[in-house]
Structure 1
Amino acid sequence: MIDTHAHIYASEFDNDREQVVQRALAQGIDTILLPNIDLDSIEPMLAAEAAYPQVCRSMMGLHPCYVDANVEQTLATIYSWFSKHSFIAVGEIGIDLYWDKTYKAEQEHAFITQLNWAKEMQLPVVIHTRDSIQETLALLEKEQDGSLRGVFHCFGGSVEEAKAINDLGFHLGLGGVSTFKNGGMDKVIPQLDMNSVILETDCPYLAPVPHRGKRNEPAYTQLVAHRIAELRELTIEQVDQITTMNAKALFKI
Protein backbone atom coordinates (compact mmCIF):
# COMPACT_ATOMS: atom_id res chain seq x y z
CA MET A 1 0.00 0.00 0.00
CA ILE A 2 1.24 3.50 -0.84
CA ASP A 3 0.66 6.69 1.14
CA THR A 4 0.89 9.11 -1.79
CA HIS A 5 0.89 12.29 0.32
CA ALA A 6 2.59 12.53 3.71
CA HIS A 7 4.51 15.30 5.46
CA ILE A 8 6.46 13.03 7.82
CA TYR A 9 9.35 15.50 7.67
CA ALA A 10 7.20 18.03 9.60
CA SER A 11 8.21 19.01 13.14
CA GLU A 12 5.17 17.11 14.50
CA PHE A 13 7.19 13.92 13.85
CA ASP A 14 10.56 15.05 15.18
CA ASN A 15 10.24 13.02 18.39
CA ASP A 16 9.16 9.69 16.91
CA ARG A 17 9.73 9.62 13.12
CA GLU A 18 11.41 6.21 13.30
CA GLN A 19 8.44 4.69 15.14
CA VAL A 20 6.01 6.33 12.69
CA VAL A 21 7.81 4.73 9.73
CA GLN A 22 7.95 1.35 11.49
CA ARG A 23 4.20 1.48 12.26
CA ALA A 24 3.51 2.21 8.58
CA LEU A 25 5.64 -0.73 7.47
CA ALA A 26 3.89 -2.98 10.01
CA GLN A 27 0.55 -2.05 8.40
CA GLY A 28 1.82 -2.89 4.92
CA ILE A 29 2.42 0.70 3.83
CA ASP A 30 5.83 0.30 2.22
CA THR A 31 6.06 3.52 0.18
CA ILE A 32 5.53 7.07 1.45
CA LEU A 33 5.56 10.02 -0.96
CA LEU A 34 6.65 13.38 0.42
CA PRO A 35 5.31 16.62 -1.11
CA ASN A 36 7.31 19.80 -0.64
CA ILE A 37 5.55 22.98 0.51
CA ASP A 38 8.05 25.87 0.64
CA LEU A 39 11.76 26.73 0.85
CA ASP A 40 12.00 25.80 4.54
CA SER A 41 10.59 22.30 4.02
CA ILE A 42 13.17 21.21 1.43
CA GLU A 43 15.97 20.35 3.85
CA PRO A 44 13.87 18.31 6.33
CA MET A 45 12.06 16.57 3.46
CA LEU A 46 15.30 15.48 1.79
CA ALA A 47 16.68 14.40 5.18
CA ALA A 48 13.64 12.14 5.71
CA GLU A 49 14.05 10.68 2.23
CA ALA A 50 17.77 10.05 2.90
CA ALA A 51 16.99 8.39 6.24
CA TYR A 52 14.44 6.01 4.64
CA PRO A 53 15.57 5.60 1.02
CA GLN A 54 13.66 2.34 0.55
CA VAL A 55 10.41 3.91 1.76
CA CYS A 56 10.31 7.66 1.08
CA ARG A 57 10.30 9.48 -2.26
CA SER A 58 10.19 13.27 -2.48
CA MET A 59 8.52 15.82 -4.76
CA MET A 60 9.41 19.45 -5.42
CA GLY A 61 6.99 22.35 -5.63
CA LEU A 62 5.59 25.49 -4.02
CA HIS A 63 2.33 25.11 -2.05
CA PRO A 64 -0.18 27.92 -2.75
CA CYS A 65 -0.39 28.95 0.93
CA TYR A 66 3.30 29.89 0.78
CA VAL A 67 2.98 32.10 -2.30
CA ASP A 68 3.62 35.78 -1.58
CA ALA A 69 4.99 38.92 -3.24
CA ASN A 70 8.40 37.20 -3.67
CA VAL A 71 6.89 34.44 -5.80
CA GLU A 72 9.32 34.81 -8.73
CA GLN A 73 12.38 34.51 -6.51
CA THR A 74 10.90 31.55 -4.61
CA LEU A 75 9.96 29.75 -7.83
CA ALA A 76 13.46 30.24 -9.21
CA THR A 77 14.96 28.58 -6.11
CA ILE A 78 12.43 25.73 -6.19
CA TYR A 79 13.09 25.15 -9.90
CA SER A 80 16.87 25.02 -9.33
CA TRP A 81 16.40 21.92 -7.19
CA PHE A 82 15.29 19.82 -10.17
CA SER A 83 18.84 19.91 -11.52
CA LYS A 84 20.30 18.84 -8.15
CA HIS A 85 18.05 15.93 -7.16
CA SER A 86 15.66 13.41 -8.68
CA PHE A 87 12.01 14.05 -7.76
CA ILE A 88 8.98 11.89 -8.55
CA ALA A 89 6.53 14.79 -9.06
CA VAL A 90 5.97 18.53 -9.10
CA GLY A 91 4.10 19.17 -5.88
CA GLU A 92 2.36 20.16 -4.00
CA ILE A 93 1.03 23.00 -6.12
CA GLY A 94 -2.38 24.56 -6.69
CA ILE A 95 -4.82 27.24 -5.56
CA ASP A 96 -6.01 27.88 -1.99
CA LEU A 97 -8.65 30.58 -1.47
CA TYR A 98 -9.73 29.41 1.98
CA TRP A 99 -7.41 31.44 4.19
CA ASP A 100 -6.48 34.45 2.13
CA LYS A 101 -7.15 35.75 -1.38
CA THR A 102 -4.47 38.48 -1.24
CA TYR A 103 -2.10 36.65 -3.58
CA LYS A 104 -4.69 34.98 -5.82
CA ALA A 105 -3.01 36.29 -9.00
CA GLU A 106 0.40 35.17 -7.74
CA GLN A 107 -1.03 31.73 -6.82
CA GLU A 108 -2.39 31.34 -10.34
CA HIS A 109 0.94 32.41 -11.84
CA ALA A 110 2.84 29.94 -9.61
CA PHE A 111 0.42 27.15 -10.51
CA ILE A 112 0.72 27.71 -14.27
CA THR A 113 4.52 28.06 -14.03
CA GLN A 114 4.81 24.75 -12.19
CA LEU A 115 2.42 23.00 -14.59
CA ASN A 116 4.80 24.03 -17.34
CA TRP A 117 7.74 22.56 -15.41
CA ALA A 118 5.80 19.28 -15.25
CA LYS A 119 5.34 19.33 -19.03
CA GLU A 120 9.01 20.13 -19.55
CA MET A 121 10.22 17.36 -17.22
CA GLN A 122 7.42 14.89 -17.96
CA LEU A 123 6.52 14.59 -14.29
CA PRO A 124 3.09 14.22 -12.67
CA VAL A 125 1.70 17.09 -10.59
CA VAL A 126 0.17 16.89 -7.13
CA ILE A 127 -2.57 19.51 -6.83
CA HIS A 128 -3.86 21.19 -3.68
CA THR A 129 -7.28 22.84 -3.97
CA ARG A 130 -9.21 24.50 -1.19
CA ASP A 131 -12.28 26.60 -1.96
CA SER A 132 -10.88 26.71 -5.49
CA ILE A 133 -11.81 23.58 -7.41
CA GLN A 134 -13.57 25.41 -10.28
CA GLU A 135 -10.75 27.98 -10.61
CA THR A 136 -8.18 25.17 -10.59
CA LEU A 137 -10.06 23.14 -13.19
CA ALA A 138 -10.41 26.19 -15.47
CA LEU A 139 -6.65 26.86 -15.35
CA LEU A 140 -5.81 23.18 -15.81
CA GLU A 141 -8.14 22.89 -18.78
CA LYS A 142 -6.26 25.72 -20.53
CA GLU A 143 -2.88 24.14 -19.80
CA GLN A 144 -3.76 20.51 -20.56
CA ASP A 145 -2.09 19.63 -23.85
CA GLY A 146 -2.41 15.90 -23.33
CA SER A 147 0.89 15.56 -21.50
CA LEU A 148 -0.18 16.70 -18.01
CA ARG A 149 -1.05 14.02 -15.48
CA GLY A 150 -1.37 13.98 -11.73
CA VAL A 151 -3.72 13.94 -8.77
CA PHE A 152 -6.13 16.27 -6.99
CA HIS A 153 -4.98 15.39 -3.51
CA CYS A 154 -7.31 15.30 -0.51
CA PHE A 155 -10.37 15.05 -2.75
CA GLY A 156 -13.62 15.81 -0.96
CA GLY A 157 -15.77 17.08 -3.81
CA SER A 158 -18.84 15.98 -5.71
CA VAL A 159 -19.33 13.20 -8.28
CA GLU A 160 -19.53 15.93 -10.97
CA GLU A 161 -16.22 17.43 -9.85
CA ALA A 162 -14.63 13.98 -9.79
CA LYS A 163 -15.77 13.40 -13.36
CA ALA A 164 -14.41 16.79 -14.47
CA ILE A 165 -11.04 15.90 -12.88
CA ASN A 166 -11.01 12.46 -14.51
CA ASP A 167 -11.96 13.97 -17.88
CA LEU A 168 -8.79 16.07 -17.69
CA GLY A 169 -6.78 12.88 -17.14
CA PHE A 170 -6.24 13.30 -13.41
CA HIS A 171 -6.49 11.00 -10.40
CA LEU A 172 -8.26 11.53 -7.08
CA GLY A 173 -6.35 11.25 -3.80
CA LEU A 174 -8.59 9.91 -1.03
CA GLY A 175 -7.62 10.39 2.60
CA GLY A 176 -9.07 10.91 6.06
CA VAL A 177 -12.02 13.01 4.83
CA SER A 178 -13.36 9.82 3.23
CA THR A 179 -14.02 8.44 6.72
CA PHE A 180 -15.77 11.53 8.19
CA LYS A 181 -19.44 10.93 8.93
CA ASN A 182 -20.43 14.45 7.87
CA GLY A 183 -18.04 14.64 4.91
CA GLY A 184 -20.55 13.42 2.33
CA MET A 185 -17.99 11.10 0.75
CA ASP A 186 -20.11 8.04 1.56
CA LYS A 187 -22.37 9.14 -1.33
CA VAL A 188 -19.48 10.01 -3.67
CA ILE A 189 -16.99 7.13 -3.26
CA PRO A 190 -19.38 4.42 -4.54
CA GLN A 191 -19.65 6.35 -7.83
CA LEU A 192 -15.96 7.04 -8.44
CA ASP A 193 -13.90 5.40 -11.18
CA MET A 194 -11.61 3.16 -9.12
CA ASN A 195 -8.99 3.29 -11.89
CA SER A 196 -8.36 6.90 -10.89
CA VAL A 197 -8.25 6.51 -7.09
CA ILE A 198 -5.06 6.59 -4.99
CA LEU A 199 -4.65 6.60 -1.20
CA GLU A 200 -3.09 9.27 1.00
CA THR A 201 -3.04 10.60 4.54
CA ASP A 202 -1.83 14.24 4.23
CA CYS A 203 -0.36 13.60 7.66
CA PRO A 204 -0.02 15.16 10.18
CA TYR A 205 -3.38 16.65 9.12
CA LEU A 206 -6.88 15.20 8.62
CA ALA A 207 -6.56 11.95 10.57
CA PRO A 208 -9.24 9.41 9.67
CA VAL A 209 -11.87 8.11 12.09
CA PRO A 210 -11.35 6.93 14.86
CA HIS A 211 -8.33 9.25 15.22
CA ARG A 212 -10.04 12.40 13.91
CA GLY A 213 -8.63 15.53 15.54
CA LYS A 214 -5.36 13.82 16.48
CA ARG A 215 -2.07 13.66 14.61
CA ASN A 216 -2.36 11.68 11.39
CA GLU A 217 0.35 9.26 10.22
CA PRO A 218 1.04 6.94 7.23
CA ALA A 219 -0.07 3.80 9.10
CA TYR A 220 -3.61 5.17 8.95
CA THR A 221 -3.65 4.76 5.15
CA GLN A 222 -5.15 1.33 5.82
CA LEU A 223 -8.13 2.95 7.63
CA VAL A 224 -8.89 4.92 4.46
CA ALA A 225 -8.56 1.74 2.41
CA HIS A 226 -10.96 -0.07 4.78
CA ARG A 227 -13.56 2.69 4.40
CA ILE A 228 -13.31 2.59 0.59
CA ALA A 229 -13.57 -1.22 0.66
CA GLU A 230 -16.71 -0.95 2.81
CA LEU A 231 -18.36 1.65 0.57
CA ARG A 232 -17.44 -0.16 -2.66
CA GLU A 233 -18.19 -3.65 -1.33
CA LEU A 234 -14.65 -4.75 -2.14
CA THR A 235 -12.07 -6.57 -0.04
CA ILE A 236 -9.23 -4.57 1.53
CA GLU A 237 -6.88 -6.60 -0.69
CA GLN A 238 -8.72 -5.45 -3.81
CA VAL A 239 -8.55 -1.80 -2.76
CA ASP A 240 -4.86 -2.19 -1.96
CA GLN A 241 -4.15 -3.83 -5.32
CA ILE A 242 -6.12 -1.27 -7.39
CA THR A 243 -4.85 1.87 -5.65
CA THR A 244 -1.24 0.66 -5.49
CA MET A 245 -1.28 -0.16 -9.19
CA ASN A 246 -2.76 3.30 -9.93
CA ALA A 247 -0.12 5.07 -7.81
CA LYS A 248 2.76 3.10 -9.32
CA ALA A 249 1.59 3.93 -12.84
CA LEU A 250 1.04 7.62 -12.06
CA PHE A 251 4.35 8.22 -10.25
CA LYS A 252 6.34 5.64 -12.26
CA ILE A 253 7.57 3.84 -9.15
Structure 2
Amino acid sequence: MTAEAPRTVLIIEDSNVQSKIIRKQIQALTQFDTLIAHTMQEAEALLRDHGQQIFIAIIDLNLPDAPDGEAVDLCLAWKVPSIVLTASFNDEIRRRFIERRVVDYFFKGSIQDMDPMVASLERVFKNQFITVLVVDDSRTQRAQIKKLLEVQRFRVLEAGDGVEALAVFEQNPHTRLVITDYQMPNMDGIELVRELRGRHKMDRVAIIGVSSVGSGPLTAQFLKNGSNDFLTKPFEVEEFYWRVNHNMDVLDMICDLKSCMETLETR
Protein backbone atom coordinates (compact mmCIF):
# COMPACT_ATOMS: atom_id res chain seq x y z
CA MET A 1 0.00 0.00 0.00
CA THR A 2 2.67 2.52 1.02
CA ALA A 3 4.84 1.57 -1.99
CA GLU A 4 2.21 3.01 -4.35
CA ALA A 5 1.75 6.24 -2.40
CA PRO A 6 3.55 9.43 -3.46
CA ARG A 7 6.85 9.71 -1.57
CA THR A 8 8.36 12.97 -2.82
CA VAL A 9 8.89 16.06 -0.66
CA LEU A 10 8.90 19.38 -2.48
CA ILE A 11 11.32 21.83 -0.81
CA ILE A 12 10.63 25.47 -1.70
CA GLU A 13 13.48 27.54 -0.27
CA ASP A 14 15.47 30.36 -1.87
CA SER A 15 18.58 29.72 0.24
CA ASN A 16 20.89 27.09 -1.28
CA VAL A 17 22.40 26.38 2.11
CA GLN A 18 19.05 25.96 3.85
CA SER A 19 17.57 23.79 1.10
CA LYS A 20 20.63 21.52 1.22
CA ILE A 21 20.33 21.22 5.01
CA ILE A 22 16.69 20.19 4.67
CA ARG A 23 17.40 17.72 1.87
CA LYS A 24 20.34 16.21 3.76
CA GLN A 25 18.25 15.60 6.87
CA ILE A 26 15.35 14.10 4.95
CA GLN A 27 17.68 11.76 3.09
CA ALA A 28 19.46 10.79 6.31
CA LEU A 29 16.32 9.98 8.30
CA THR A 30 13.73 8.83 5.75
CA GLN A 31 13.33 7.07 2.41
CA PHE A 32 11.50 10.01 0.83
CA ASP A 33 12.62 11.55 -2.45
CA THR A 34 13.10 15.32 -2.68
CA LEU A 35 12.70 18.07 -5.24
CA ILE A 36 14.01 21.60 -4.69
CA ALA A 37 12.61 24.88 -5.98
CA HIS A 38 14.24 28.22 -5.17
CA THR A 39 11.34 30.38 -6.36
CA MET A 40 7.58 30.15 -6.60
CA GLN A 41 7.90 29.99 -10.38
CA GLU A 42 10.18 26.95 -10.13
CA ALA A 43 7.79 25.36 -7.62
CA GLU A 44 4.85 25.80 -10.01
CA ALA A 45 6.82 24.11 -12.79
CA LEU A 46 7.70 21.16 -10.54
CA LEU A 47 4.08 20.81 -9.44
CA ARG A 48 2.97 20.68 -13.06
CA ASP A 49 5.60 18.08 -13.97
CA HIS A 50 5.70 15.98 -10.79
CA GLY A 51 2.49 16.80 -8.92
CA GLN A 52 1.36 13.16 -8.76
CA GLN A 53 4.56 12.15 -6.94
CA ILE A 54 4.56 14.96 -4.35
CA PHE A 55 2.84 14.18 -1.04
CA ILE A 56 3.94 17.25 0.93
CA ALA A 57 5.78 20.55 0.55
CA ILE A 58 8.19 22.35 2.88
CA ILE A 59 7.86 26.04 2.13
CA ASP A 60 9.85 29.12 3.05
CA LEU A 61 7.23 31.71 3.96
CA ASN A 62 9.12 34.56 2.26
CA LEU A 63 10.48 34.01 -1.25
CA PRO A 64 11.82 36.66 -3.67
CA ASP A 65 8.81 36.21 -5.98
CA ALA A 66 6.38 35.26 -3.19
CA PRO A 67 7.11 37.50 -0.18
CA ASP A 68 3.78 37.02 1.57
CA GLY A 69 3.38 33.25 1.64
CA GLU A 70 1.89 32.94 -1.86
CA ALA A 71 3.81 29.68 -2.35
CA VAL A 72 1.72 28.16 0.44
CA ASP A 73 -1.47 29.08 -1.40
CA LEU A 74 0.00 27.60 -4.59
CA CYS A 75 0.66 24.22 -2.96
CA LEU A 76 -2.70 24.13 -1.24
CA ALA A 77 -4.37 24.88 -4.58
CA TRP A 78 -2.61 21.75 -5.88
CA LYS A 79 -3.95 19.90 -2.79
CA VAL A 80 -0.42 19.39 -1.50
CA PRO A 81 -0.17 19.52 2.32
CA SER A 82 2.26 22.20 3.44
CA ILE A 83 4.78 22.66 6.23
CA VAL A 84 5.95 26.26 6.58
CA LEU A 85 9.42 27.51 7.52
CA THR A 86 9.72 30.99 9.00
CA ALA A 87 12.55 33.11 10.36
CA SER A 88 10.18 35.07 12.62
CA PHE A 89 6.99 34.38 14.51
CA ASN A 90 4.15 36.34 16.05
CA ASP A 91 0.39 35.99 16.63
CA GLU A 92 -0.42 37.39 13.19
CA ILE A 93 1.82 34.87 11.43
CA ARG A 94 0.33 32.07 13.53
CA ARG A 95 -3.18 33.16 12.59
CA ARG A 96 -2.27 33.06 8.91
CA PHE A 97 -0.91 29.53 9.28
CA ILE A 98 -4.11 28.34 10.94
CA GLU A 99 -6.36 30.06 8.40
CA ARG A 100 -4.43 28.51 5.53
CA ARG A 101 -4.65 25.12 7.23
CA VAL A 102 -0.98 24.26 7.03
CA VAL A 103 0.13 20.93 8.49
CA ASP A 104 2.75 22.50 10.76
CA TYR A 105 5.26 25.34 11.02
CA PHE A 106 8.88 25.47 12.15
CA PHE A 107 11.64 28.02 12.62
CA LYS A 108 14.55 27.93 10.22
CA GLY A 109 17.69 26.64 11.87
CA SER A 110 20.58 24.22 11.81
CA ILE A 111 20.42 20.59 10.75
CA GLN A 112 19.63 19.57 14.34
CA ASP A 113 16.56 21.81 14.30
CA MET A 114 15.21 19.85 11.34
CA ASP A 115 14.52 16.65 13.32
CA PRO A 116 11.00 17.66 14.50
CA MET A 117 10.14 18.74 10.97
CA VAL A 118 11.23 15.40 9.52
CA ALA A 119 9.17 13.62 12.18
CA SER A 120 6.19 15.68 11.06
CA LEU A 121 6.76 14.57 7.46
CA GLU A 122 6.76 10.93 8.47
CA ARG A 123 3.64 11.36 10.58
CA VAL A 124 1.70 12.97 7.73
CA PHE A 125 2.77 10.20 5.37
CA LYS A 126 1.47 7.54 7.78
CA ASN A 127 -1.75 9.42 8.53
CA GLN A 128 -3.09 8.99 5.01
CA PHE A 129 -3.58 5.29 5.74
CA ILE A 130 -5.29 5.80 9.13
CA THR A 131 -9.05 5.98 9.66
CA VAL A 132 -10.46 8.18 12.43
CA LEU A 133 -14.04 8.12 13.69
CA VAL A 134 -15.46 11.45 14.93
CA VAL A 135 -18.50 11.14 17.21
CA ASP A 136 -20.59 14.20 18.06
CA ASP A 137 -24.30 14.97 17.86
CA SER A 138 -23.48 18.43 16.48
CA ARG A 139 -22.89 18.41 12.71
CA THR A 140 -21.03 21.69 13.03
CA GLN A 141 -18.62 20.29 15.63
CA ARG A 142 -18.09 17.13 13.59
CA ALA A 143 -17.34 19.18 10.49
CA GLN A 144 -14.81 21.35 12.33
CA ILE A 145 -12.92 18.36 13.72
CA LYS A 146 -13.11 16.57 10.37
CA LYS A 147 -11.47 19.54 8.63
CA LEU A 148 -8.64 19.59 11.16
CA LEU A 149 -8.05 15.86 10.72
CA GLU A 150 -8.07 16.13 6.95
CA VAL A 151 -5.35 18.79 7.13
CA GLN A 152 -3.24 16.07 8.77
CA ARG A 153 -4.29 13.69 5.95
CA PHE A 154 -6.41 11.28 8.01
CA ARG A 155 -9.35 9.39 6.55
CA VAL A 156 -12.41 10.49 8.53
CA LEU A 157 -15.69 8.74 9.39
CA GLU A 158 -18.55 10.36 11.32
CA ALA A 159 -21.27 9.33 13.77
CA GLY A 160 -23.95 11.35 15.59
CA ASP A 161 -23.99 9.41 18.87
CA GLY A 162 -22.49 6.40 20.62
CA VAL A 163 -24.94 3.87 19.19
CA GLU A 164 -24.26 4.98 15.63
CA ALA A 165 -20.53 5.06 16.38
CA LEU A 166 -20.51 1.39 17.39
CA ALA A 167 -22.28 0.49 14.16
CA VAL A 168 -19.85 2.53 12.06
CA PHE A 169 -16.89 1.02 13.91
CA GLU A 170 -18.27 -2.48 13.31
CA GLN A 171 -18.34 -1.76 9.57
CA ASN A 172 -14.83 -0.25 9.69
CA PRO A 173 -12.82 -2.44 12.11
CA HIS A 174 -9.52 -0.97 10.84
CA THR A 175 -10.34 2.34 12.57
CA ARG A 176 -7.44 3.30 14.86
CA LEU A 177 -8.65 6.49 16.53
CA VAL A 178 -12.01 7.58 17.95
CA ILE A 179 -12.63 11.19 18.96
CA THR A 180 -15.86 11.44 20.93
CA ASP A 181 -17.88 14.19 22.53
CA TYR A 182 -19.39 13.62 25.97
CA GLN A 183 -22.98 14.88 25.81
CA MET A 184 -24.92 12.94 23.15
CA PRO A 185 -28.34 11.29 22.93
CA ASN A 186 -28.84 7.50 23.09
CA MET A 187 -25.29 6.83 24.33
CA ASP A 188 -22.91 9.45 25.74
CA GLY A 189 -19.16 9.58 25.25
CA ILE A 190 -18.20 7.78 28.45
CA GLU A 191 -20.59 4.92 27.71
CA LEU A 192 -19.11 4.70 24.22
CA VAL A 193 -15.57 4.56 25.61
CA ARG A 194 -16.63 1.77 27.97
CA GLU A 195 -18.22 -0.22 25.13
CA LEU A 196 -15.22 0.21 22.84
CA ARG A 197 -12.75 -0.73 25.54
CA GLY A 198 -14.69 -3.92 26.17
CA ARG A 199 -13.93 -4.90 22.60
CA HIS A 200 -10.58 -3.25 21.80
CA LYS A 201 -7.53 -2.68 24.00
CA MET A 202 -5.70 0.64 24.30
CA ASP A 203 -2.84 -0.66 22.15
CA ARG A 204 -5.24 -1.32 19.28
CA VAL A 205 -7.50 1.74 19.23
CA ALA A 206 -6.81 5.18 20.71
CA ILE A 207 -9.73 7.18 22.11
CA ILE A 208 -9.76 10.92 22.80
CA GLY A 209 -12.64 12.36 24.80
CA VAL A 210 -13.78 15.90 24.02
CA SER A 211 -16.15 18.17 25.94
CA SER A 212 -16.91 21.79 26.74
CA VAL A 213 -18.29 20.84 30.15
CA GLY A 214 -14.93 20.98 31.92
CA SER A 215 -11.72 19.06 32.41
CA GLY A 216 -11.95 18.12 36.11
CA PRO A 217 -14.03 15.12 37.16
CA LEU A 218 -15.11 14.51 33.56
CA THR A 219 -11.50 14.03 32.47
CA ALA A 220 -11.06 11.46 35.22
CA GLN A 221 -14.22 9.61 34.12
CA PHE A 222 -13.04 9.43 30.52
CA LEU A 223 -9.55 8.24 31.48
CA LYS A 224 -10.70 5.72 34.09
CA ASN A 225 -13.10 4.18 31.59
CA GLY A 226 -10.39 3.68 28.99
CA SER A 227 -9.85 6.91 27.08
CA ASN A 228 -6.25 7.58 26.07
CA ASP A 229 -6.60 11.35 26.25
CA PHE A 230 -9.00 14.24 26.80
CA LEU A 231 -9.47 17.70 25.27
CA THR A 232 -11.54 20.59 26.59
CA LYS A 233 -13.37 22.71 23.99
CA PRO A 234 -12.49 25.19 22.73
CA PHE A 235 -8.96 23.93 22.13
CA GLU A 236 -6.03 25.39 20.22
CA VAL A 237 -5.43 23.91 16.79
CA GLU A 238 -1.81 23.08 17.59
CA GLU A 239 -2.81 21.25 20.77
CA PHE A 240 -5.37 19.19 18.86
CA TYR A 241 -2.82 18.24 16.21
CA TRP A 242 -0.20 17.38 18.82
CA ARG A 243 -2.49 15.16 20.89
CA VAL A 244 -3.89 13.32 17.86
CA ASN A 245 -0.49 12.71 16.29
CA HIS A 246 1.09 11.83 19.64
CA ASN A 247 -1.51 9.13 20.22
CA MET A 248 -0.83 7.74 16.75
CA ASP A 249 2.91 7.76 17.47
CA VAL A 250 2.30 5.76 20.64
CA LEU A 251 0.26 3.14 18.77
CA ASP A 252 3.03 2.89 16.17
CA MET A 253 5.67 2.41 18.87
CA ILE A 254 3.63 -0.33 20.54
CA CYS A 255 3.17 -2.06 17.19
CA ASP A 256 6.92 -1.87 16.50
CA LEU A 257 7.69 -3.22 19.97
CA LYS A 258 5.31 -6.15 19.48
CA SER A 259 6.97 -6.94 16.15
CA CYS A 260 10.40 -6.90 17.81
CA MET A 261 9.21 -9.21 20.59
CA GLU A 262 7.69 -11.63 18.09
CA THR A 263 10.95 -11.67 16.14
CA LEU A 264 12.95 -12.42 19.29
CA GLU A 265 10.57 -15.21 20.29
CA THR A 266 10.97 -16.97 16.95
CA ARG A 267 14.77 -17.06 17.16
Q: Which has the higher strand share?
A: 2
Structure ranking higher on relative contact order (CA contacts 8 Å, 6+ apart): 1
TM-score (norm 1): 0.31
Query: TM-score, normalization: structure 2?
Result: 0.30
* Larger-Rg structure: 2
